[in-house]
Amino acid sequence: MFGLFNKNSGSESLPEWFTTLEESKERLFLFLDKLEAKMEELCNAAIPELKEQLANDEDMYKRTFHRVYAGINGQLSNIREKARDVYDEKINDLYDNLKSEVSVLHPHYDLLSKFRTECSDRYNKEFEEKYQYWRNQLEKTQERDLEIEYQKILAEYDEIKNSFNCKQCGGNITIEKIFFIDTYIACSHCQTQNTFEPSSQARNLQNFARNLAEQRVSHLLEIYHTENNKERELYHERHELSLSTIHEKDKKILAQNQSQMDDLENRRKEVIKNAPKLYHVYLRAMYDEWNKITPDLKEHHEKLYENQINY
């Protein structure tokens, strides 16, 4: 605020609406500070609790966890909505009202556009980034779930694989692998068919195996998304460059710009070619992980894979 006053010969030269802008901006920043502190407090308290809930909950469907998780997520969304409401009401409306009075030719028009940019950056970039950060941290509490579930199933398998006995002769029957459906196993001593009934957590493996596989290779999906997003970025960069030369007459500058634009377009075409390849790398890795987790379903997985890449 002081900086702006100093730049001018005196405060009289500033329009009276300038104070309103400064006050609104200040109030928005303070309000967003508070909301960010709230998100941080909420998540810092909830995340360790959620993790503990997940680790200790015996319920296979983790219903308590999901209820609490949904509750925290809801509270986060409420905070975000509050920020949006205040931004729309106090900043956008004020800007729109003033814009109808202050034309582009107004000597202080730049104060108005600066106000808009600063508020928008604070809200759309800074606040939104923090919201997404906490949203991701919260989501990650679910991820541990599957790896832990899987470890539990492995531990259970280690325990039972040599302790299953024939109902007829009592002879030991080795469980060769993790089964997740009822399976007939012939006794090697007396040939009697025995039914092996997997535990409920082992049965559940086929329901979450794919999610677990996806989690394990999520970094590859991230690489694909980053590459894919570049397409839009390069497009916009080129577009802005083309706008910047609308009034340009200098042929040398125009030629320079054109070559820059061509360069951007070439890079964009590269990205368009490269992104699907990266997606395939992700997919193949995901299916490999999936096959490792539930090898019995490999044939089925591979059919899905073929469908997905030929789609």
Nearer to Zn ion, 124 or 168 (CB): 168
Nearer to Zn ion, 114 or 161 (CB): 161
Written as one string, the DSSP assignment of 231-243 is HHHHHHHHHHHHH
CB under 8 Å to 39, separation ≥6 — which residues?
Answer: 76, 79, 130, 131, 134
Nearer to Zn ion, 170 or 295 (CB): 170
60 binds Zn ion (CB under 5 A): no
162 binds Zn ion (CB under 5 A): no
169 binds Zn ion (CB under 5 A): yes
Nearer to Zn ion, 68 or 185 (CB): 185
**Residues 181, 190, 254, 255: which binds Zn ion (CB under 5 A)?**
190
**Residues 187, 202, 213, 278: which binds Zn ion (CB under 5 A)?**
187
Written as one string, the DSSP assignment of 83-118 is HHHHIIIIIIHHHHHHHHHS-TTSTTHHHHHHHHHH
193 binds Zn ion (CB under 5 A): no
171 binds Zn ion (CB under 5 A): yes
Nearer to Zn ion, 117 or 168 (CB): 168
Residues 10, 5: Cα–Cα separation, whole Å: 7
168 binds Zn ion (CB under 5 A): yes
48 binds Zn ion (CB under 5 A): no
Nearest residue to 122 (alpha-carbon basis) of 75, 78, 90:
90
What is each CA distance from 267 to 9, 48, 182, 232, 254, in whole angstroms?
49, 44, 55, 11, 20
Neighbour tally for 204: CB within 10 Å: 16
Smallest separation (angstroms) from Zn ion to the CB of 296? 24
Nearer to Zn ion, 1 or 186 (CB): 186
Considering only 131-139, 167-175, 213-221, 235-243, which stretch makes contact with Zn ion by CB under 5 A?
167-175
CB under 8 Å to 91, separation ≥6 — which residues?
Answer: 24, 25, 28, 116, 119, 120, 123
State which H helix or E strand residue 209 sits in. Answer: helix 205-216
- Residues in the interface with Zn ion (CB under 5 A) total 8
| Interior/surface letters 31-68, b for 16+ CB within 10 angstroms, e for the rest | bbeebbeebeebbeebbeebbebbeeeeeeebeebbeb
Smallest separation (angstroms) from Zn ion to the CB of 161? 17
Provide φ and ψ at 259, rounded to 5°.
Answer: -70, -35
Considering only 71-79, 142-150, 161-169, 177-185, which stretch makes contact with Zn ion by CB under 5 A?
161-169
Neighbour tally for 86: CB within 10 Å: 16
Nearer to Zn ion, 138 or 187 (CB): 187
**Residue given tokens 């005196």 in the structure block:** 10
Nearer to Zn ion, 171 or 276 (CB): 171
Smallest separation (angstroms) from Zn ion to the CB of 169? 3
State which H helix or E strand residue 184 sits in. Answer: strand 183-186
Smallest separation (angstroms) from Zn ion to the CB of 164? 11
Interaction mask 122-151, Zn ion, x per CB under 5 A: ------------------------------
Smallest separation (angstroms) from Zn ion to the CB of 176? 16
189 binds Zn ion (CB under 5 A): yes
- Chain residues that interact with Zn ion, rule: CB under 5 A: 166, 168-169, 171, 187, 189-190, 192
